[in-house]
Chain A
């Protein structure tokens, strides 16, 4: 009778194999799906040396996954995230700051060209003096527009971080919930494969937002913590990230009733990338441009005060510098008139002594944090140069990490991804196996019938 039983076990096993193939084919395009296969084992005979065996058994459903490759996937997601979110900001900044029609260098050139033009024709020429005041206004506008770009970026970086924290919290909660369900499924012997896929997808999405350490537990759960060591998920327990404050955001992590403050600039992933862009590029750049605006205003105003107007009065300050102002950082003093410009050194209207000194401010050094003492005319060029290097480095890193992430995905797919041709072969072969086992049954049946006929 063992033939019939063997055939039955073969038919059942091939059905199980066909079922897993069908599941694989159904999930051909499912992101993060790990392919499965029925693991078949021969059943040893109970006793006796003449027994071939007791058929086949599906000992388990095999899940094709390589933990190293999965970890690699998460690590590259963090590295990619850290650089991918900052590149659009860097590109926007360098496009604005590098554009001849919008950059500070162009505005400074035009302002000093206007001063020089007055010296070229006559220091008392009203239209030319008007041009100086107009050019000063346009220069201020360039500073203010740039400052607005910085402020818009700061706001956007901060909003983006709030969104990241929200989305990370939902990933963290999902990982903990899935961990609990996986532990439960494993304990009750159900197939946890699709739960594991979901959880690993959640970890992948979290890892693009911050760099993670993931450790496997014997019950099938994974513990997730930040690189700096703070736990985000322990088994079925989830931590919660929080962000507070308006302009200067602070971050904290609450886990099991305890709250820690987090320095997110080193957090890696999108959160760390954005924070380090804010701290190391955007804020210093904004401060540098403010320093430029302040020193231009101070130098021009101080020199104007030393000169005399056409009516032999002391000069009035041309620029008003308002530190911290969002859209009016640098302005032309309200009600400023061409007569208020003091170009004369000795009080005679045709003298250009003070005007020459004003023109010379362009070649004077100013102090920029991070650059040191630079010529006013060269300060913007150097700032843009610094930004360009930052952006180029980030682009290079982004290219590298994009390739690494693609490679990690390919590696992962290579183990866990479904190949439709492979499944087609499996389908045909297991179908053959099923049919062969059916044939065995009919042979067993024929043998049984023959035996019965003999008895009859």
Chain B
């Protein structure tokens, strides 16, 4: 084929442009480590990566939720454990009070401790978090769960005004966990405590008086059932946290495999890229050499 002078120039330009384009592309890929610079580099794989990233975003959120819920549960567990411990010491006091050898003064003296215990239980049950939301009122988080009505007769002054609804949190695709707590049932113990305090504060109160004994033994039963109630909640919290740990571990595994898939699909094979880059730069250098030799070739130079 006849080759025109301009044809050689055009071929040279095209070859330089092609090599330089590929070198630029490879340098870009190596700079950010991504095989796919724009989706059209590999439409199918970029869709796969995008879907994996969507799933990763969801899993990240689930894992954040699990961490937050676990924190709340640990805190709730702490409050409940405190209350159970307080109740234990109150129960001991009542067992002592039930001892028939106690003098009325001894019983009167116990009232101060019982008062403190009653108020402490109510205070803990009405605990609020940093934003002022109550912790133990079910979903009525703007209301203190234990209400006190001074005008009501002793034994019915305390009432539970929260609810027992669950606040659910999504911790996985289709998996929810209950994150809130309530102390319905505690008001009964408080009323009994109130009753006991009223009874024991009476001057000359005798532990052998059958009426006093009834109040004390009811209150002892009340302590037992309230301790059962709260211990049960603590046990459930422990179980929930174990489940959350398992779910979190599952999420972690899925997330790891997603991340590996994203890396496998999207990451540049640096070794192959380096070899390719080397090839193109060699080709480019060869083109330069060829042009510098052949570009000077002209019959006119010999004439």
Q: Which residues of A contact B (CB under 8 A)?
A: 28-29, 90-91, 94-95, 97-98, 100, 105, 109-110, 112-113, 116-117, 119-126, 310, 344, 346, 348-353, 356, 359, 377-378, 380-382, 384-385, 387-392, 395, 406, 409-410, 413-421, 424-425, 427-428
Contact = CB atoms under 8 A, between A and B. Distances in A.
B169 A120 contact: yes
B10 A113 contact: no
A348 B40 contact: no
Contact of A418 (B6, B11, B38, B40): B6
B140 interface: yes
A428 B169 CA distance: 94
Interface stretch (B49-57, B146-154, B211-219): B49-57
A356 B176 contact: yes
A314 to B, nearest CB: 18
Contact of A417 (B7, B43, B139): B7
B139 A348 contact: yes
Contacts of A95: 38
B10 to A, nearest CB: 6
A428 B3 contact: no
B38 A91 contact: yes
Contact of A113 (B44, B57, B69): B57
Interface stretch (B78-86, B130-138, B276-284): B130-138
B142 interface: yes
B272 interface: no
Given A28-B6, A392-B43, 8 more contacts: A90-B40, A113-B57, A117-B64, A350-B180, A378-B51, A387-B39, A388-B43, A417-B4
Nearest to A348: B139
Contacts of B31: none
Interface of B is mostly: helix
B245 interface: no
A120 B1 CA distance: 75
B141 A359 contact: no
B40 A124 contact: no
Contact of B69 (A120, A348, A406): A120
Nearest to A387: B39
Contacts of B3: 413-414, 419
B139 A120 contact: no
B6 A113 contact: no
Contacts of A120: 61, 64-66, 68-69, 169, 179
Contacts of A125: 131, 133
Contacts of A417: 4-7
21 contacts: A113-B61, A116-B65, A117-B64, A120-B66, A120-B169, A122-B129, A122-B131, A349-B141, A350-B140, A356-B170, A388-B38, A389-B40, A392-B41, A406-B14, A409-B7, A414-B2, A414-B3, A414-B4, A415-B2, A417-B4, A419-B4
